[in-house]
Amino acid sequence: MSKQKRHIELNNQVTRRTEDGFFDLEKDIQAKDAFIEEVKSKTKKFPSEIERLKWMVKNDFYYDLFKQYGGKKAIEKLLDRTVNVELEEPFEFKSYMAATKFYSGYVAKTNDGKTYLENYEQHVFIVAAYLAQGDSDQAVNHYWAMYDQVYQPATPTFMNAGRSRRGELVSCFLLSTGDSLNGINYTESTTKQLSKLGGGIATDLTNIRSRGSSIKGIEGVAKGALPVAKAIQNAVGYADQLGQRPGAAAVYINVFHMDSLEILDSKKVNADEDVRLSTASIGLIAPTLFFEIAERNETLHMFDPLDVKRVTGQELGDVNIADVYDELVSDSSVRKKSINAREYLETIAKTQKESGYPYVMFKDNANKQHPLKNIGEVKMSNLCTEIFQLQETSVINDYGIEDEINRDISCNLGSINIANAVEKGEDFGDYVESAIRSLTSVSDMTSIANAPGVRKANEELHSVGLGAMNLHGFLAKNSISYESVEARDFANIFFSTLRYHSLLASSKIAYERKETFKDFDKSDYADGSYFDNYIENTPVIKTDKVRELIESNGFHIPTKQQWMALRTIVMQNGLYNAYLNAIAPTQSISYVQNATSAISPIVDLIERRTYGDSETFYPMPYLSPQSMWFYKSAYNIDQYRLIDLVSVVQRHVDQGVSTILYVTSDTSTRELASYYIYAHAKGLKSLYYTRNKLLSIEECTSCAV
């Protein structure tokens, strides 16, 4: 039997029961060890680490870090503070999946792909050195944050940072489409430019005039939003990163748009291929008024954006629909469609049960909690529904007339491993600062030449999204039920502390650089009002279990006085980053960390994944005869309690939380619709897809960490 088949076979034996009736988890460790031995036999050998680095630079695998850091001696000193440090317990992958995911997806290999050129420590080193951009102390901080698996950059950054032949460090973008052929062409062209880089692109179609609207006064000739959605789907299919990875796109549309039901129908199983969006994801933008109308069991009226602009002077995507709704309904000159609002909700639920889509974005919730509400409005979200930033539609004029390029959005993400972070206790603030500085470096180094709206926003706002993973793993390890009061108590304490240190780190950067994000003075941070709730209602531990956990690990919780001091610091020094936190789904990279995904509950005690012609089994972190009882499957968890937990986290996240609902064949469409209403009432900003046991939802690799 080949070595390769041997480690696969060992891993596949994990599900067998031992004499005590539990899973044979030792087989997973044996499989990992066998795999690592195979890796070592296929790894190029070097006389020393400095010689390896010189060879990697010379042969065009790494960027020239010798030049950036000041020569060989400087790099040797840096190595002595990182890779060459002798530890009592050197790094080891915690599972077979962790090792195989890293070596299949992230490690540098020779050009023929047959020989490995680095191990985990060496890969982390080059990523850290690149993100530190010549600052040795920062390189050391970044190295240990990643080596200790407290901080994890998103896949695009972790894969590409430090490579001489690299892709982009970010790969998730949001665009807004204007209601003109110029605007539509601009969006389609920009989509292709971003898709060829491996980007996942979400586009807001809310402002596009509806099917049957007028063009230049001629009635009934407009094709509506769906053909634009199809064009975007085709665009990412055409520009697919050299055929190595398919493009990814999502289209969002406001529920008050006349074509919103047509976009929704594009995901129905029985939809005609001419109108079906087979690969693009869809999202609905749902203002609070939609739920109020549904609560009253009234008719919902949807409008033509062209008429909305004619009557109100504003685009449908910009107008506060609650202020103008009655006027638009009573105006007979405004084209409209009508449906019972509860019927619309049930149609959403039915479509979600069939396809997993649409995403639902709660627009008013997002803007109510928006610290930059006086600067701009949040209008949509991304492919994974955790990005919520201000956005403006560009005006694309005819040739010879200067365009008005406005701000679109890019997603620059990373995550804290909750379990490892809490256990590092006293150093948590240092790790968070390293993470924010790391993400800021990615922002500073990112400039998408052919996406001017994205580039402009990045240059002016420096937005980042630090999130977290391994919540369910941490809870199970410490015998806490996901649905419990203790889980919500811990989430409140952990994420408020993460928020505190994120703000502090950004303010430090602003002070050092003497620069804030554009229009900081108009934000809720500048006048101090953002901090009122933290000062008046400072998060405190409420349960004995969480108190014991926090205190035993030396994990410090900011006091009221510290929040007051932070308010003063931020008001004086400003913030460098307009946005700091977002809870993205963590997929491939959470395997490398041996962590559960983001803040989501697990699906199975031992996850089964198919890669090529083989299967890999992934036992949940810290799985034992004791912890298994706290690893309740997401399909068996009360979804209302899941929403409750997310709502606690959302209070401390300036952007959003990617939230999946889990349903079974027994879940009625009415019950699913009630989850939307409850999530909206609890202050969530979005719901990601709905996962049905019978559905296979493809991973979003573009916008996930």
Catalytic, out of 172, 384, 411, 700: 384
Q: Is 160 a catalytic residue?
A: no
Structure tokens given for 328: 């638009």
| Contact criterion met (CB below 8 Å) for 297 and 348 | no
Q: Which residues pair with 17 in a beta bridge?
A: 23
Q: State the Cα–Cα distance between residues 603 and 638, nearest whole angstrom.
A: 13
Catalytic, out of 141, 207, 382, 420: 382
Q: State the Cα–Cα distance between residues 247 and 270, nearest whole angstrom.
A: 24
Strand order in the sheet with 281-285: 409-410, 172-176, 200-204, 248-254, 281-285, 359-361, 686-687
The overall longest dimension of the chain from CA atoms, in Å, is 81
Residue listed under structure tokens 């020569």: 71
Residue 8 CA: distances (Å) to CA of 20, 34, 37, 590: 24, 9, 13, 20
Which residue, among 594, 195, 118, has the nearest Cα to 383 in the 3D structure? 195
Structure tokens given for 289: 């008024």
Taking the chain, what is the end-to-end CA distance rounded to the nearest angstrom?
36
Q: Which amino acid is at 234?
A: N
Q: State the Cα–Cα distance between residues 386 and 659, nearest whole angstrom.
A: 8
Q: Which amino acid is at 178?
A: G
Strand order in the sheet with 465-469: 151-153, 413-417, 465-469
| Contact criterion met (CB below 8 Å) for 609 and 615 | yes
Query: Cα dihedral sign for 233, 235, 240, 241?
Result: negative
Structure tokens given for 189: 């062209």
Q: Is 382 a catalytic residue?
A: yes
Buried b (16+ CB within 10 A) or exposed e, 8-25: bebbbbbeeeeeeeebbe
Q: State the Cα–Cα distance between residues 438 and 282, nearest whole angstrom.
A: 32
Q: Is 384 a catalytic residue?
A: yes
Q: Which helix (H) or strand (E) holds 250?
A: strand 248-254
Q: Which amino acid is at 324?
A: V
Point out the residues that are catalytic: 382, 384, 386
